[in-house]
Structure formats: structure tokens, C-alpha cells
Structure 1
Amino acid sequence: MKQFSLTWEAHREHDGMLLREFLKLKELSKRALTDIKFQGGKITVNELEKTVRSVVNEKDIVTVCFPIEKPSEDLISEDVPFEIIFEDDAVLVVNKPAGIPSIPSREHPTGTLANGILHYYNKIGLQSTIHIVTRLDKDTSGLMLIAKNRYIHYLFSKNELKSVSRKYMAIVHGTLDQKEGSIRAKIARKSDSIIQREVSDEGQEAITHFEVIQSLDAYSIVQLQLETGRTHQIRVHMSHIQHPLVGDDLYGGSTDSLSRQALHSFKLSFEHPIEKKEYLFEIGFPKDLSDWLISNNCQMKW
């Protein structure tokens, strides 16, 4: 099985620094260092294994081999379909089809994207738990970001995913009064449901920015960007302003012409946590939404 590792070169400003302090600059926590020491990882300087009390000199090559992660025994490897858009040693960007949950739950214990990613990891010889950075609802399609190691996931999450940007396309009922704007309405779990959410003063802050791309007779195509990432946020907010998503019967949308919510994660950008380089990915509508647009004489070109 592959063991995740990272390598850095020490520069002049690091000369004479304790290895512990050098790794702190790389945002390795005390817990991470403890795991490396006791759970099968190692730290080398110029290919020689060292302790964190060692001194780093300019031009030293420091390598951290992280412990092999053990997936949950409850997670079953399954050949679940998804498309890989981008992959390197640190991250995986995938295109999730509609109808596939992101992670197992009581309602969907198997057949999830996490099951499929575990199957893929087994195929390429990577032993790791599944670290989903940006999750999508079961019936939302599109781009998702996966961290291939606990440390990479931590680097994304430590600043509340501020280095990650997501944009969505939705087909909603009706014509919006404003061509663009922001919805600022707190979201909480509905008291009589374990699934449904609602706008509530008792909820968590939620902000969604929208822009109308095209207005049809009875529908609008809307581009949306999340500033926060609450469960069902787009669906709840669009329903709150009386423009529920087509196909979203949980929040007031009609399923007459589409059997799932018309929501697609079409653009994903992030600062790579290791390279510190900006990555941007964009994909078009899946076939079911494209067919809906054609059947409704929409002239939108992707």
C-alpha cells in the first residue's frame, strides 16, 4: 500500500531551527507529530530518520511519511460510478452523478460516493480514509473536492474552507425580481424532521449569492455561489424567496418534468494546500438537465 509523504527543502531562514519548529511552519500539529511517531510514520532529513529535536540546516531535504490510514470497517468497497476530473498525491476532484449520496447514512448505508472512492483507492493501492472536503446532496450532481490524507483535509478545513470556492447552476420556478443579489437567512433543522431544513432565527448563519443567467416563461436559470455551507442551503434559500428548484419536492418544487432537484455544481476552485497554487475546474450540465433545457426551448450554450 502507498504511504502518503511530503518533502520540503529548508531555506536560509530555517538554518539552525529545530525540526519541530520547521514542521510547525508546515502546519503539522502536535497531534499529527505524535501520530507519525507512534502510528507507523517517520521523519527523515536527507534520507536519514530523525526526531523532532534535530536541527535543520539550509538546503536540508525534510520528508514526512504519514501513518497509513485505516478506513472504517463499516465502509464497504463498491464499484460506484463517478468521473475523475483531476488527481495528484494530495487531492481528488470528481464529478458525482445525481442519485448517489456523498457518504453512507442510515437511509443509504451503501452505494455512496465514499464507497466508490474506497474501491478506487484499493485499485490504485492507496490505503486511506475518505476525506470529503465539499459534499453534495444525493440528487445534486457535479464537482466535489476530496482530500487524500487527513493532513490535507486539515489544511483545507482549518480556515473554514475559505480557500475553496463553489458555484452552482440551478433551474428554479418563476422569474426573479432581481437579476442578482444575496440571500442572508439563517438555517436550522426542522423540528419535526431529521432531513428537512428551514429558515429560522435560531439557525446558523447562511449566505447565498445568486445571478440570473436566463429567464424562461415559467422558469429561471440561476448561478449561485455559497459563502457558507449549510445542509440544503441553496434549496432552502431559493424556496424561502418563493423560487424553489425544479424537481425539489422536499422544498416546494414540482417533479412533473424532472425527478430530482435541478442543481449542478459546475465550477470549483481552490488553493492547493501544498503547492499554494490556484486550481479551477468547470464542467457542463449532465444529460438529464441538458435534455430538460432542450425540451423547454432554452437557448443557453455551455
Structure 2
Amino acid sequence: MEIKKFSFRGKIKDKENITLVDFLAEVTPLSKSLIKKHANNGGVWIKKRGLGPLNRIRRVKTVLTPDDYIECHYDPNLPEVDMSLVAQIHETKDWGIWYKPAGILTEGTKYGDQASMIRHIEKIKPHAYPIQRLDRETSGLMIVAYKEKVSRIFTKSTKSGLITKSFQAEVLGQLRSSEGDISFNIDGRSAKTIYKVHQELEFSSLIEIEMPTSRFHQARQHLAKIKHPIIGDPKYGRHNKNDDGLKLVAHKIELKDPISKKDHLFVLSDELRLF
């Protein structure tokens, strides 16, 4: 029997000493073997006794208690993702710089995290905390902390402007000025994108971008707003289709190590940059 995409949400209520796998086998159409695989892939969530946050649970033999809240989100059509190009560019015991190829999520969704950067790194490191998130379609450099305390320090540094992230993009048409900034609120929050033209092509322009703020799809929304959408963007703009995908790359990060206080500059290799 084909199992379609579904979501289950509910409390354990009156059941005593039932395991997660037995409970889900009763309330969902999934077999026990599929439940085990699905939980391991990050599609099952639990809130213990209704307290605290909702967290992924992978151990299907966990014994549940009354008032535990369970969610199971299943999608049989989640694509397989090639993680072979994911690479750590720089490593310390507290954090690292990673390369994320296009087509890979930074973090998972409610349906699972097996095809995400963070889950991939968690299989190598005890913990992984992304300091910034790149869109699925965007490739480039990411900072990942391996300790929660270091993550908090990096996040504070980002808000204080002590970390600079630069992007390269190819946009539709030629911009009116060789450099400038775009300031439009996104979701009611202030957002600023700074750009500089690197080269004008026949129907497009290569530009470098910095974003003092980090909002949802910020560069993509801002550039579409001024009628210069990023080439290959599947969501924003018109007449910007491209068979090679989104032309947006996070190619450079400047930061101060929150532990050693040493300054670092990381630049993506030539073959992975746009220019």
C-alpha cells in the first residue's frame, strides 16, 4: 500500500509504558521498520510531558509517559541528496568553516533532517550550531559552532558587526550605479544590502554583496525589488531563468575567533566562485 504524505500530532494520554515505535505503529500507517528509519531521519518529534521545546527523537524504543506530546511528519517523496561535496574548510575544536553546495538545506524540516548540512556535521561532531543559514539554492561558506556557548558568542559577534560575510551574484540587467545600498524592510524588520558591480555582461551584471542584516532571502528579495533579480532564482523576479541554478555564492567570511581572538579571512576557492 502506498503511504501518502501526512502529519500526526497528539498526546499519549492513557497509555502506560508504551514505546515510541509501538505507539506510532498504532496511530499511523507506518510499519515498525519504516518508523525506525523515519525517526532516525529526523521526522519524529517529542515534547516530554508537555514541557520544554519540541525536539526530534530518534530512539524508537524510548518509553513514553502520559501527557508526552508526539508529532510525526512523513513525506515519501523526500529527495536523496548527494553530500559528497560538503567539506570542512577550517577546523578548531570549538568551530569550523564549512562549504555547502547548492541543493542542500542548512537545517532540516519537520519531515526530516537527513539531507541537511547540520545533520551531516552532527554525524562527525557531537554538536553542530549554524551561525548563519544559507538558502537551499545558495552555495558557499558557513560558520558552524560545535559548542552552544561558542554559538552564543558568535551570534553576538554577528549582531555587533564583528563578522563580515560577502556574496557574489549575477543579476539581470545593468544597475544604474556601480555601487550602492538597498534598504527595504523584510517581514516588518529593517534590512540593508550593500552591492558593488564587478563586471557588466551583455544581459546581466556580476556584483559583490554584503549584508549587515540577515533576513529571509534578503539579497534575493532586495535585488528583485529594484528590478535586478538574481539569475536562476526560482522564486523571485522575471526573465531570470537559468539551467545552472541560482547564481549566488557566499564566497568570503572575515571574523575574529571568539576563543583565541585571532583574526581570520576565509575565501572560497576559485573554481567554486562566480568570479
User: Residue type of the partner of 2:129?
Assistant: H
Indicate whether 1:183 and 2:182 are aligned.
yes
Indicate whether 1:73 and 2:57 are aligned.
yes
User: Contact between 1:131 and 1:147, CA under 8 Å: does it hold in 2?
Assistant: yes
Relative to structure 1, is the Cα distance of residues 72 and 152 closer, same or farther in structure 2, using a 3 angstrom cutoff?
farther
| 1:257 Cα offset (Å) | 3.0
Relative to structure 1, is the Cα distance of residues 73 and 106 closer, same or farther in structure 2, using a 3 angstrom cutoff?
closer
Indicate whether 1:148 and 2:133 are aligned.
no
Relative to structure 1, is the Cα distance of residues 135 and 174 closer, same or farther in structure 2, using a 3 angstrom cutoff?
same
Could you list the runs of 5+ residues in structure 2 that have no partner in the other structure? Answer: 1-54, 60-80
CA distance in 2, matches of 1:97, 1:286: 13
User: Contact between 1:246 and 1:255, CA under 8 Å: does it hold in 2?
Assistant: yes
CA distance in 2, matches of 1:117, 1:254: 37
| 1:286 Cα offset (Å) | 5.1
User: Residue type of the partner of 1:164?
Assistant: I
Correspondence for 2:262 among 277, 282, 285: 277
Q: Give the corresponding residue for 2:87.
A: 83
Q: Residue 161 of structure 2 aligns to a residue in which SS?
A: coil
User: Contact between 1:79 and 1:115, CA under 8 Å: does it hold in 2?
Assistant: no
Correspondence for 1:220 among 176, 195, 205: 205
| 1:259 Cα offset (Å) | 4.4
CA distance in 2, matches of 1:285, 1:73: 40
Q: Give the corresponding residue for 1:96.
A: 100
Q: Give the corresponding residue for 2:228.
A: 243
- Mean alpha-carbon deviation: is it higher for 208-217 or for 156-165? 156-165
User: Residue type of the partner of 2:237?
Assistant: G
| 1:141 Cα offset (Å) | 0.3
CA distance in 1, matches of 2:111, 2:222: 24
Q: How does 1:1-302 map to 2 (within 5 A)?
A: 72-73=56-57, 80-81=83-84, 82-106=86-110, 109-121=113-125, 127-128=126-127, 130-159=128-157, 160=159, 162-188=161-187, 203-254=188-239, 256-284=241-269, 302=275
CA distance in 1, matches of 2:266, 2:258: 16
| 1:94 Cα offset (Å) | 0.6
Could you list the runs of 5+ residues in structure 1 that have no partner in the other structure? Answer: 1-70, 122-126, 189-202, 291-301
CA distance in 2, matches of 1:98, 1:248: 12
Query: Can you list the C-alpha shifts for 1:233-283, whole angstroms capped at 9, x where unaligned?
Result: 000000001000000020015464334211000001111001111111001
Query: Can you list the C-alpha shifts for 1:124-143, whole angstroms capped at 9, x where unaligned?
Result: xxx22x21001100010000
| 1:110 Cα offset (Å) | 2.7
User: Residue type of the partner of 2:149?
Assistant: Y
Relative to structure 1, is the Cα distance of residues 237 and 255 closer, same or farther in structure 2, using a 3 angstrom cutoff?
closer
Relative to structure 1, is the Cα distance of residues 107 and 216 closer, same or farther in structure 2, using a 3 angstrom cutoff?
farther
User: Residue type of the partner of 1:246?
Assistant: I
CA distance in 1, matches of 2:131, 2:117: 13
Q: Residue 145 of structure 1 aligns to a residue in which SS?
A: strand
Q: Give the corresponding residue for 2:20.
A: none
Over the matched positions of the two proteins, sequence identity in percent amounts to: 28
Q: Residue 154 of structure 1 aligns to a residue in which SS?
A: helix
What do you get for the CA RMSD once the two structures are aligned? 2.3
- Mean alpha-carbon deviation: is it higher for 246-255 or for 147-156? 246-255
User: Residue type of the partner of 2:146?
Assistant: K
Query: Can you list the C-alpha shifts for 1:124-164, whole angstroms capped at 9, x where unaligned?
Result: xxx22x21001100010000000110010111123425221
User: Residue type of the partner of 2:124?
Assistant: Y
User: Contact between 1:100 and 1:113, CA under 8 Å: does it hold in 2?
Assistant: yes
User: Residue type of the partner of 1:242?
Assistant: K
Normalising by the residue count of structure 2, what TM-score does the alignment of the two structures yield? 0.67
User: Contact between 2:104 and 2:117, CA under 8 Å: does it hold in 1?
Assistant: yes
Number of aligned pairs? 198
- Mean alpha-carbon deviation: is it higher for 91-100 or for 246-255? 246-255
